[in-house]
Amino acid sequence: MTYFGDDQETIRGKPWDWKNFESTKDYPVSNNLLEWVIGQERALDECYLCLNEWVHKLKNLKEENWYEAWKDPNKEKPQITKSAPPGPYLLLLGDPGTGKSLIGRALSVHLTELYKKEEIHLQDAICWQNDVIPSEPKISCHEAGAGKKILLKQKLKEEKKLFLQRLGVKAIIYIMIIVASIFMFAGFYYLWQEKVAWDVNALNVLGETLQDSYSGNFSGYMLDQFVSIGTITFLPAGMMLMFLILVTVLGRFGVLGAAKGVGGAKASKVPKLVVDNSKKVAPFIDATGHGSAQLFGSIAWDPLQTGGLGTPEHQRVSAGDVHRAHLGVLYIDEIKNMAPDEAITLLTVLEDGQLPITMRSRLSGAGGTAAMAVSTEPVPCMCFLVGAGNFDSIGQVHPALMDRIYGYGKVVRMNNDMQNTVENRRKYVQFIAQEVSRFRLLHFSREACEEIVDEGRRRSNKNNSLSTKFRPMISLVKTAATLAMNEGLELVERRHVKDAIEKHCKTIQKQILEHQMSERGELLEISPEGAKLGQIYGVAVVKDAYSGEMTGNVLAVKGFLEKRGKRSDNSLHGYYKVTGVAKEGQEQFIADSVAKVRSVILQKYGVDIAQDFFTHIDFAQAYRVDGPSAGVTMTILLCSLIEGKPVRQDVAVTGEINVSVNDVIPVTAVGGLHEKIKAAEMWGFKKVIVPAKNYKHSIDPRDYTIEVVPGETLEDYLKESLVDTEKIVNKKSR
């Protein structure tokens, strides 16, 4: 059978030949996000169970006409706790990159399909002005899409009213302008008549001429006439004009109906659409890292509100994530990081299915203002909670919240790997095709797909498994495609994937570790040639304490063994020293190995290296070596010294030594095998001996250019690493 099988398969209505396909081109990629989830069948099964329970609850609410009770903002709202039980909820726990957020998004898509099938309608939420108690805005809910229609109807109604108001105001303004103009014209006309009377030297009421009465002072005459005429003409006209100017200025600054409030919103009695589901798609709200105001809604603060000049209360209401996720999915990653007070409020949401919107932000700067007194009616927020986190979240989620999830929902473990079967290797091809489609990349050749699958196997650290941590694999796919694109190729080849793995897609922790090892490597005395007595090379790993990333390292281990009494009298006691290892007060896993080595040598040779010999083992140029994998290295070194057989210097070893049972000294499995073998390969060793359990469980010799040999017992290790001096002598004598 070939790597991906020999049969043909119909995928989404299109035939696909797994035996002969050459690239991912034309692979039928699904539009259903649930089909993008790979290797998490159990998690998906639990999700489907929860969704079926969820839809069953909503169908019961529909039969009880619960939705109808929310349509009138002036009616009392029903209590959800009397209509439907809480739950279900879902908590996904697993390592990053295993598809938790993808499942959350996919569930909202699946919910949309279920709602259409069961004729369950999403809802829009509208906030109305409360004419009796303005600080308690009213709430109504309507079928998705109806909210905008209601809002449009109310806007048209208000615009009609405002239009008539503006029309009346403009009519009054025009009439006042006309009247003021008439008064102004009359005033100028009367002044002109007085000028004519002066010119003709007319008689005044006393019978004297005007010029004689004012002694020829025309200015004084006209000033008196202006005062008398202005009081009945210019003064009324001026007052009218000043009033018109005042109206214009106040209107420009919004005091007379065009006020701009919070966010530029117009001060209006028109209701506000706070939750809009007009797209009729079950909402998916990612509330990861959001604070109280974002999660549970808030009331915006308006500095003019206390003077009655600001935006009305209902226009300053902003719905929270829980309200916008009503009848949809509320996704909270790293749920363990929720503050205690936020977790308690979330409990209210989960239990009651409704929550008033009030001012919740502590950082708004509005403490002590009238904004704190505004609180809406309860707003529906029946959301399907999908929480996520790593395995350390188990003990860090708020106890009361965790109790609700256990009681009314499910906690699901995400898989880190899946079986290395033909079916799952095909799913890796599906994964590659999905990412190629999503990021518009070059298509991958069959060989490139095989290399991606092999990398998934290596990352699972099991021969019969494939990693389901796909997010880090996305970087490999994108980088390999970019390398091929830079060469002007049409397909991504295997070599591009290998370059991405070995050169471009390492974590920063691994880059730092490898840099440190390469810097130290220039000073290390490692020469994998010939055979030496008293020196052996072991392979170990250096681990980043925070991320868990590892890189391999080669250790030169040297030994000194001399029988007691050879140079001194028998009064001197023997000793057993191991240097270059973790010191007292640190984690000393290697301390057990040091003790076991002494017992193993006693069992094999009948001598005590701590009393019968002066024994010193030194991990040369090492720094606080720790871990059980150094046990077989020390044992082989001592066997070499006791038997007088040199150790092959082109062979590196690793494994945990164990006390003999039935005269068999077993070597058991250790961790970090891949990194250890790559380190030996980099230093030019010809062979590396590893525990047989490791070899069977996680080693594929095709991954390495170095020979990897399994060893089940100490004798297996000695056979591969020690040089038989008798055979060498016999060979020379011939």
DSSP string, 85-102: -----EEEE--TTSSHHH
Residue 466 contacts residue 425 (beta carbons within 8 Å): yes
Q: Is the pLDDT of residue 733 over 50?
A: no
User: CA gyration radius for the chain?
Assistant: 43
Please state which CATH number belongs to domain 419-505.
1.10.8.60
Q: Cis link prior to 88 (omega < 30° from 0)? A: yes
Q: Determine the pLDDT at residue 392.
A: 83
Residues 310-324 have a mean pLDDT of 87
Residues 615-622 have a mean pLDDT of 84
Q: 651 — alpha (psi -120 to 50), left (phi > 0) or beta?
A: beta
Q: Determine the pLDDT at residue 549.
A: 72
Would you mind telling me the total number of residues written for the chain in this entry? Answer: 734
Q: Which tokens is 415 given?
A: 């898989």
Weakest mean pLDDT among 3-17, 490-504, 513-527 = 513-527
| Residue 533: band (very low, low, confident or very high) from pLDDT cuts 50, 70, 90 | very high
**Which residues on adjacent β-strands are paired with residue 468?**
none
**Which residues on adjacent β-strands are paired with residue 412?**
92
First to last CA, the chain: 51
Is 676 a catalytic site residue? yes
> Can you tell me the distance from the alpha carbon of 729 to that of 734, in angstroms, rounded to the nearest whole number?
9
Q: Three-state SS across 483-508? A: HHHHCCCCEECHHHHHHHHHHHCCCH
CA atoms within 13 A on the CB side of 250: 10
| Residue 83: band (very low, low, confident or very high) from pLDDT cuts 50, 70, 90 | low
pTM as predicted: 0.75
* 497-509 pLDDT, tens digit each: 999 998 998 877 7
Q: How high is the mean pLDDT of the chain?
A: 84
Q: What is the DSSP letter of 358?
A: E
Q: Is the pLDDT of residue 308 over 80?
A: no
- Annotation: CATH topology of 528-733: Ribosomal Protein S5; domain 2 (3.30.230)
* DSSP-H helix ranges across 500-576: 508-521
Residues 204-215 have a mean pLDDT of 69
Q: Determine the pLDDT at residue 47.
A: 87
Comparing 139 with 158, which gets the higher pLDDT? 139
| Residue 586: band (very low, low, confident or very high) from pLDDT cuts 50, 70, 90 | very low
| Domain boundaries along the sequence of the chain | 44-123+278-413, 151-264, 419-505, 528-733
| Residue 437: band (very low, low, confident or very high) from pLDDT cuts 50, 70, 90 | very high
Q: Which tokens is 621 given?
A: 């140029």
Residues 202-212 have a mean pLDDT of 68
Residues 610-628 have a mean pLDDT of 80
Residue 338 contacts residue 405 (beta carbons within 8 Å): no
Q: Determine the pLDDT at residue 276.
A: 93
Q: Three-state SS across 628-669? A: HHHHHHHHHHHHHHHHCCCEECCEEECCEECCCECCECEEEC
| Residue 588: band (very low, low, confident or very high) from pLDDT cuts 50, 70, 90 | low
Report CA dihedral (659, 661, 664, 668) to the nearest 10 degrees.
Answer: -50
Weakest mean pLDDT among 163-167, 278-282, 600-604 = 163-167
As a whole-number percent, the residues of the chain with pLDDT over 70 amount to 87
Q: Which tokens is 568 given?
A: 């001194």
CA atoms within 13 A on the CB side of 708: 25
146-199 and 218-230 helices, crossing angle to 10°: 140
Q: Is the pLDDT of residue 361 over 80?
A: no
Q: Is the pLDDT of residue 269 over 90?
A: no
Residues 407-425 have a mean pLDDT of 91
* 693-729 pLDDT, tens digit each: 999 988 888 889 999 999 999 999 999 999 976 554 4
Tell me the CA distances in angstroms from 528 to 525, 537, 538, 553, 719, one per residue in order: 10, 8, 11, 14, 18
Which one of the listed residues 336, 604, 676, 678 is annotated catalytic?
676
| Residue 385: band (very low, low, confident or very high) from pLDDT cuts 50, 70, 90 | very high
Q: Is the pLDDT of residue 433 over 90?
A: yes
- Annotation: CATH topology of 44-123+278-413: Rossmann fold (3.40.50)
Q: Is the pLDDT of residue 185 over 80?
A: yes
Residue 631 contacts residue 593 (beta carbons within 8 Å): yes
Q: Is the pLDDT of residue 570 over 80?
A: no
Judged by DSSP in three states, 462 sits in coil
Q: Is the pLDDT of residue 731 over 50?
A: no
Q: Determine the pLDDT at residue 500.
A: 94
Which one of the listed residues 393, 629, 698, 721 is annotated catalytic?
629
Q: Is the pLDDT of residue 367 over 70?
A: no
- Name the phi and psi angles at 442, rounded to 5: -70, 150
Q: Is the pLDDT of residue 561 over 70?
A: yes
| Residue 303: band (very low, low, confident or very high) from pLDDT cuts 50, 70, 90 | low
Is 566 a catalytic site residue? no
Q: Is the pLDDT of residue 215 over 90?
A: no
Q: Determine the pLDDT at residue 262.
A: 45
Q: Determine the pLDDT at residue 64.
A: 80
